[in-house]
Amino acid sequence: MKYCNVIILDIVSDELDRKFTYRVPEKYLDKIIEGVLVKVPFGKRRLLALVVEEVIKIDFPKEKLKDIVGVVFDTPVLTNDLLKLANWMSQYYLCSLSKVVNTMLPKGVKLGINPAYEKYVELTDKEMADSISKKASKQKNVCEILQEENVLKWNELLQKANCTEAPVKSLQEKGVITVNKKRVYREPISYDKVAHYAYKEPTHAQKTVLKLIKDQLHSRDKIPTLLFGVTGSGKTEVYLQVIEEVLKNNKDTIVLIPEISLTPQTIARFVGRFGDKVAVIHSRLSTGERFDQWEKVLRGKAKIVVGPRSAIFAPCKNLGLVIIDEEHENSYKQGEIPRYHVRSVAEKRCEMTDSSLILGSATPSMESIYKVKENKYQLAELSKRATDATLPDITLIDMKSEFQRGNKSIFSKTLLDEIKRNTDLDKQVILFLNRRGYASFLLCRECGYTITCPRCEVTLTYHKFSDRLLCHYCDYTEPVTSHCPSCKSNKIKEFGTGTQKIELELKKYFPYLSTIRMDVDTTSKKNSHKELLDDFKNQKAQVLIGTQMITKGLDIPNVSLVGVITADTALNLPDFRAGEKTFQLLTQVSGRAGRGEGKGHVVIQSYNPSHYSIQAVRGENVRKFAKEELAMRKKLNYPPYSQLIRIVLRSSEENALENYADHLADKLEDQEYEVLGPNPCPILKIKDEYRWHLMVKVKKDKFINDKKLQDFLLEEKHNITEQGIIRISIDVDPINLL
């Protein structure tokens, strides 16, 4: 190619977030193709860029075009299908191609090739700093900040001082401060003698499922498989044996797992079966390690990639299979730009590369169940647990009548009895609390005042460990007070049921029981998650109290009782998926009971136990639940029967925000689009910014082809961003509606 478009990788700034055209010098004619990394002159600098396409018609003064000055890597860093996929994502999720490409490439691609440096600023000449004249106010300010912090990252300093880099550079020239570049070193990954994970002869059910999936592997018109299997039904062994088959055809596999399940045990199964053919990606890897894993795939040395959401972008040259385990997990949707859902992206990549797709879950998403109904997915079912363990008994407790009977405790009588009975038998108990949003907060019993975050207007959570109040949406924190800021009484005390509170309450009834608590506070340290679980597994405590994080992949045979303190919390969220989330969560939690010998028991406490989402948890009745849930979705025309585009508007100026939200909704309605809202977001304020949102509802799968709507939204975004008061973000197929 003679001329090509590139996107800049070094920087992500809105203004540079587009394509630039360069001339290809003669000597690179055979080297430069799509997906190649190059060096380009850009202003006075030389930057790393990615060649994305050939340009034939140039809409830029040809004589002003500059030459590409270097080719950085001996091979394209994005395979052909990935580049196509990037273009599709850019269109589908309405974001720039450079944002997509930047998420596709590991950070280390840039750093590994250009050694990794980070700029640090340090105050070195204190005397001179003090002698800076007052008129250089910005410099003075920068010095003051550095007096406090000593060493700061370059961009953090600019942010803190709220200045451009000019004053900092001046200080550097004067020798008041020094700027150090710190090399980021990468560490190799070790496959540390992972024990071989032996082939297991498939059960009858597994054989049936394997046949269905393998037929798809060799079929011409492939459709994805929804592998529906209850917890412990042996899905992993099915995955492993399908991968074996794919390997035989010399094709590559990508296995996607929610980050939280990427535990050493899970990894050990894949590495234990396939050894160094496996590349593993997880959040604990350093940039360098991540780069190494990525390169292993690019060079064809790894045939299997196991990783979270982002692993769907592994540069496999010969993709044959993608597996999405726990496909219903919300973490498969990226919360930032590009706001992609890995299920949709995987479907597209498989379609482009003629690969098979397996979606595994015990509680599939409504999206996937609906596709089975439409015959767009095939259903493969593993109904029985692979081991002989049977499904647990589930008791639903109505907390309203419990309260009416005079039980004001957070534990129902049944749950207390069960805790006693099970621990008396030397069995272990898990107590589950829905989310930390329901942890304790300070409430004045005199006047009802609660302490909220001054920036986000949400209730601050009380953390006993640090004895401070904490905001869960920003990093705001303040000390506890003994007197109510509103009425000055001393009746302001912690209230609510956090994991700590449950632990304390439990001690009142059973002072002799030892407990382990798992939540964000106790697991923030590296490895503490695993350590706590190991302790529990080794029966160092009889009761495990935890939030969400204990629901996944926990397999402890001695647990015979699971208690859910309040099932309602998720149900009450202002979200049309609340029922689905509640059902999935409760089913997952229930699956933790009775994984060894003997029947497990689950006690679910709820203020609304007749709700179908809670009722259907009995017997893990996914079909029953799906029937009711889909009927509701259809009636209200929610996904999967329609497609939503959520538009979030943020501003510190409430009036301007509300006016613009109304204006935008009107404009959309004028064009005959169905609009929900505008409304204030359920979380009205985050980090000093008010938030409003509105939802555009289109016919399912129609947004990608609705150029008119896409252009309108991009145009609006452009115009409103230029004014600088309101910020706008667009989320196609949103999961989070808060």
Binding site for DNA (CB under 7 A): 11, 13, 15-16, 20-22, 40-45, 60, 64-66, 135-139, 154-155, 163-167, 170
CB of 58 to DNA, least distance (A): 8
Q: Which is nearer to DNA, 151 or 166 (CB)?
A: 166
Q: Which is nearer to DNA, 164 or 637 (CB)?
A: 164
Number of other CB atoms surrounding residue 211 within 10 Å: 11
Those residues whose C-beta lies under 8 Å from the C-beta of residue 134, and which sit 6 or more positions away, are 140
User: And the tokens for 242?
Assistant: 């399908």
**For helices 97-104 and 80-92, angle between their N-to-C axes, nearest 10 degrees:** 130
Do 158 and 177 touch, CB atoms closer than 8 A? no
* Dihedral pair phi/psi, residue 730, rounded to 5°: -115, 130
Q: Which is nearer to DNA, 68 or 694 (CB)?
A: 68
Q: Which is nearer to DNA, 65 or 656 (CB)?
A: 65
CB of 113 to DNA, least distance (A): 17
Burial-class residue 398 by CB neighbours within 10 Å (0-12, 13-18, 19+).
middle
Q: Which is nearer to DNA, 700 or 727 (CB)?
A: 727
CB of 138 to DNA, least distance (A): 3
Those residues whose C-beta lies under 8 Å from the C-beta of residue 178, and which sit 6 or more positions away, are 121, 122, 124, 172
Sign of CA dihedral 464, 469, 473, 475: negative
Q: Which is nearer to DNA, 140 or 501 (CB)?
A: 140
Number of other CB atoms surrounding residue 291 within 10 Å: 22
CB of 463 to DNA, least distance (A): 34
User: And the tokens for 668?
Assistant: 């959309």
- DSSP annotation of 328 reads T
350 marked ligand binding residue: no
For 399-410, b where at least 16 C-beta lie within 10 A, e where not — what string?
A: beebeeeeeeeb
Best CA proximity match to 248, nearest among 277, 207, 220, 288: 277
Number of other CB atoms surrounding residue 522 within 10 Å: 18
CB of 118 to DNA, least distance (A): 11
CB of 67 to DNA, least distance (A): 8
Q: Which is nearer to DNA, 10 or 244 (CB)?
A: 10
Q: Which is nearer to DNA, 159 or 527 (CB)?
A: 159
Distance of CA 479 to the CA centre of its chain: 31
Q: Which is nearer to DNA, 181 or 400 (CB)?
A: 181
* Bridge partners (DSSP) listed for residue 401: none
Those residues whose C-beta lies under 8 Å from the C-beta of residue 186, and which sit 6 or more positions away, are 108, 112, 116, 286, 287, 288, 289, 291, 292
4 marked ligand binding residue: no
Those residues whose C-beta lies under 8 Å from the C-beta of residue 724, and which sit 6 or more positions away, are none
Q: Which is nearer to DNA, 109 or 389 (CB)?
A: 109
Q: Which is nearer to DNA, 66 or 299 (CB)?
A: 66
CB of 2 to DNA, least distance (A): 13
CB of 724 to DNA, least distance (A): 11
Distance CA 48, CA 7 (A): 9
484 marked ligand binding residue: yes
CB of 476 to DNA, least distance (A): 24
447 marked ligand binding residue: yes
CB of 109 to DNA, least distance (A): 18
Distance CA 508, CA 351 (A): 58
Sign of CA dihedral 154, 157, 163, 168: negative
CB of 125 to DNA, least distance (A): 14
Those residues whose C-beta lies under 8 Å from the C-beta of residue 234, and which sit 6 or more positions away, are 200, 202, 203, 205, 206, 382, 386
Distance CA 378, CA 358 (A): 10
681 marked ligand binding residue: no
* Residues annotated within a binding site: 444, 447, 453, 456, 471, 474, 484, 487
* Residues annotated within a binding site for Zn(2+): 444, 447, 453, 456, 471, 474, 484, 487
